[in-house]
Amino acid sequence: MGEQILVNTERSDLGQVRIADEVVGIIAGLAASEVEGVHSMSGGITGGIYDMFGRKNFSKGVKVEVGQVEVAVDIAIFLEYGYRVPDVATRVQENVKKAIESMTGLTVVEINVHVQGIHFPQTQVPEEKETRVK
């Protein structure tokens, strides 16, 4: 059986609560994708494999390092053309921090945003009318 890494163990009278790294990654990915100006998350090869099979990988483009009480996050994104990069990156950091801390109780110590590219909107070229005579 594969080894499962569990973090943020809290003990109560009823037992333990453990949050897996993947859960923190999913929370971070969803929070980042909600920010206006973020076109998509950059997932590399594994993200492409998920897409080929029609499955959603909500932690696509997210790498987390989780300790007992703290977490550090690296997020790779593509921006929409026309948005100011520092503004979008700051909003991503704020949204991810708020989401992780409110949903898990972990303290976010670092969020690194890696802008992998810019998505340019497709411009429609007007079709020329085809005439029979010139």
User: Domain 6-119 adopts which CATH fold?
Assistant: Alpha-Beta Plaits (3.30.70)
| Predicted TM-score of the model (pTM) | 0.75
For residue 108, which of 5, 27, 18, 6 has the smallest C-alpha distance?
Answer: 27
Q: Which residue has the higher pLDDT, 60 or 103?
A: 103
Tokens 């973090």, residue located: 7
Three-state SS at 104: helix
DSSP-assigned states of every residue in 5-61: -EEEEEEETTEEEEEEHHHHHHHHHHHHHTSTTEEEE--HHHHHHHHHTT---TTTT
Q: Most distant CA pair in the chain: distance in Å?
A: 87
Instruction: Give the pLDDT of residue 3.
Output: 43
Q: Is the pLDDT of residue 94 over 70?
A: yes
Q: Which residue has the higher pLDDT, 125 or 13?
A: 13
Q: Is the pLDDT of residue 2 over 60?
A: no
Q: Where are the domains of the chain?
A: 6-119
